[in-house]
Amino acid sequence: MFTVRILSYGSALGFRTRYDVRMNTHDSTNRTAIVTGASSGIGEATARLLSQGGYNVVLAARRADRLEALAAELGENALAVPTDVTDPAACEALVARTVERFGALDVLVNNAGIGLYGAIAEADPDDWRKMFDVNVLGVLYTTRAAIRHMLPRGSGDVVFISSVASRRVPNAYGAVYSATKHALSAITEGLRMDMEGKGIRVVSVEPGLVRTEFPMNSYSSAEEYYAQKDYAPLEAEDVAEAVLYAVNQPLSVVVNEILLRPTDQLN
């Protein structure tokens, strides 16, 4: 009632108030999100939080058993669509299946990613290819499929789970992983310009260290890896909260970048 009264005062005075801009909002119960990499870590936490926030969620990753278990836990507003993001046709099919099941796609969370660490002189070039395939090309394939659906509707959110490593190289072993995340910064910025005036919001979420299964691709035990650090990592839920904060903004607001670190992480 308070808001309505201010609105009417604003209208009577002939100016657009902050309050009527904030009325330009959306109802998350009617919104649908795809989360890639939803089979573990940040993607799983984000899918769970979006679902709790009223979103329909489409869970994408390669491990179908994990996706099915999460979909069963989240209920009828969740759908598992096993997808390898390195396959452009699979990314197209993911968006098509989402629209078929829920009628539209409002939010894409580009989260799937891998880190294969090693010094450049000793690394296997195949590991570099795998990282670029998932972290860069996979993101492009999925984003292309999603925005082709969003553009005619004039609305949608594209979220990139990037990293602090998109801004700096954390160490010599992380040079190529960091290169993929730097590439993501260029893609994010270019897409933001490309989407100008088209109703599509572009959001980059850049976490520091997060406790997930992520180190297991390069180290024998994730727990041992985190134990070596002299600070505690973020939890996947911390990053999920940042995603929800961004996509739940009024439609007149876009949070373009969120950089979040554990409080004691310096770099």
Q: Which residues bind ligand NDP (CB under 6 A)?
A: 36-37, 39-43, 61-63, 83-86, 111-115, 134, 138, 161, 163, 207, 209-210, 212-214
> From residue 130, how far is each of 144, 165, 174, 217, 247 by CA, in Å?
20, 18, 14, 12, 30
H or E segment and range at residue 201: strand 200-207
19 vs 219, which CB is nearer to ligand NDP? Answer: 219
Contact assessment for residue 145 and residue 190, using Cβ atoms and an 8 Å cutoff: no
Residue type, 266: L
CB of 215 to ligand NDP, least distance (A): 7
Give the torsion through C-alpha atoms of 129, 234, 94, 142, to 10 deg. Answer: -50
CB of 84 to ligand NDP, least distance (A): 4
CB of 168 to ligand NDP, least distance (A): 12
Cα 47 versus chain centre, distance = 10
For the record, the structure tokens of 200 come out as 């599509």
CB of 181 to ligand NDP, least distance (A): 7
Contact assessment for residue 43 and residue 112, using Cβ atoms and an 8 Å cutoff: yes
HSE-up of residue 144 (Cα within 13 Å, Cβ side): 15
213 vs 223, which CB is nearer to ligand NDP? Answer: 213
H or E segment and range at residue 250: none
253 vs 264, which CB is nearer to ligand NDP? Answer: 264
CB of 142 to ligand NDP, least distance (A): 9
Position of tokens 């999460």? Answer: 70
Residues designated catalytic: 177
34 vs 61, which CB is nearer to ligand NDP? Answer: 61
69 vs 151, which CB is nearer to ligand NDP? Answer: 69
